[in-house]
Amino acid sequence: MMRKTEYALLALLVLAVLAAGSTMVSFARSQAASATNSEIYKQLDLFGEVLERVRADYVESPEDAKLIESAINGMLTALDPHSAYLNPKHFRDMQVQTRGEFGGLGIEVTMENGVVKVVAPIEDTPAARAGLLSGDLVTHLDKEQIHGLTLQQAVEKMRGPVNSPITLTVVRKGVEDPFEVKVVRDIIHINPVKYNVEGDDVGYVRLTTFNEQTTENLQKAVADLKKKLGPKLKGYIVDLRNNPGGLLDQAISVSDSFLDQGAIVLTRGRNLEETQRSNARQGDITGGEKIVVLINGGSASASEIVAGALQDHHRATVIGTRSFGKGSVQTIIPLGSNGALRLTTARYYTPSGRSIQAKGIDPEIVVEEELPEDIKKKEKVQGTRGESNLRGHLKGEVGEDKEEEQSGSSSYVPEDKEKDTQLQYALDILRGIKSVDTEVKKQKAEAKQKAEADQKAEAKAEAN
């Protein structure tokens, strides 16, 4: 009986100590949170004071909305280059881009000498039906000069409600005087997948972006190529060069289209419970045919997810040059009528656990394009652009060596396919003219020789 009483007293004492400890921890957390909140309120007071000073004393009366929007953007861009505030207009533009359809004319354009130049009218669109041709120069929109507008501003003016008309003033080579073309806007679908047959034995598929239509159009393209080539088919080239990325779910479903099983991508947020893993489902749309993926310094984000997944599963041979190195995920957080927040919420990893943030995907076989002299001079002065070159980019994780960061590579792709070294190399691999194993061994031997030569040169320089 006495021993039972002692146990009871001991248990009460332990519970009391635990309760006290819990209270102390809770109190400490409360104090820490209170201190943090107090500091935030001080900073907000400072912001309010600066805002009032600017509103009261700036040389010209500023726009309040512009001041607040700039302050929000300043806060977000201080985090990393990919976080930003999207005002209502920019949010709508982003939604148009990811949906892949909008009210417009249906022309690919660029800016040349202050006017809009038609690169090409898109087939079966109002522009094509109105007779616009590649090379046409558009000088006026509804009789208003384009000169002085940016390309983006001119494009916005050409877009508009379906069935609304717009008059273009066109200058055409071989036609003496400018003439007017009336075009009625219609729904334009941006096809992110372009494809064709190379020779009579290889299917070529180019993905230009990852919008809501990418996977569906990819599957249609592969089915059509399979039908056209039949038993002659030797494989597919998936061209991701200069593809800046887009929707994460589309990168996952595109990768899944070529895989039967296994992880596609891992995403990890600030907390461990935010880790997510996407897996492939049974069903390879190519039926197991050989695949070569082309990448370069312009392949970023979603493109790198696809290239990394197919590379890690040895499903494709990756050829080209190092990709851009954007290994972070942005979440769009709508803010009601005030637009949206684009916030970096996670890093992503390839199936083998590689983070490519500020490093990029290295191809198995490095193939450089022959650069024209003007681009060669430009890259020599400015260098190549990659994630690691962006000011304020997200650094490698704790424990990673910052020196492992790699700059990007060239994003040049020749217009003439015959001069496209990377494409021709991919064709040789699929046709069996070149062997992947042989080429990989050859490049490793060359890299080893170069490293040894560099070491000898360094040793000689130190000796002198």
- Reported as half-sphere exposure (CB side, CA atoms, 13 A), residue 202 has a value of 21
The Cα–Cα gap between 86 and 338 comes to: 8
Give the position of tokens 């310094």. Answer: 297
Which residues, 6 or more positions from 301, have their beta carbon under 8 angstroms from its beta carbon?
244, 245, 246, 251, 324, 326
The Cα–Cα gap between 232 and 10 comes to: 83
| 117 included as an active-site residue | no
The Cα–Cα gap between 125 and 423 comes to: 30
| 326 included as an active-site residue | yes
The Cα–Cα gap between 204 and 276 comes to: 32
Catalytic residue among 278, 299, 301, 355: 301
In one letter, which amino acid is 380?
Answer: K
| 428 included as an active-site residue | no
Between the CA of residue 384 and those of 1, 108, 419, what are the distances in Å?
Answer: 83, 26, 21
Residue 425 CB neighbours (<10 A): 18
**82: closest CA among 255, 240, 302, 296?**
302
> Where would I find the H helices in 209-271?
214-229, 248-258
Instruction: Kindly report the backbone phi and psi dihedral angles of residue 341, in degrees, each rounded to the nearest multiple of 5, phi listed first.
Output: -110, 125
Between the CA of residue 47 and those of 42, 66, 71, what are the distances in Å?
Answer: 9, 15, 9
Q: Which two tokens stand for residue 167?
A: 């008059």
Torsion 58-59-61-67 (CA) sign: negative
Catalytic residue among 239, 312, 409, 411: 312
Q: Which two tokens stand for residue 243?
A: 């593809």
Q: Which residues are catalytic?
A: 301, 312, 326
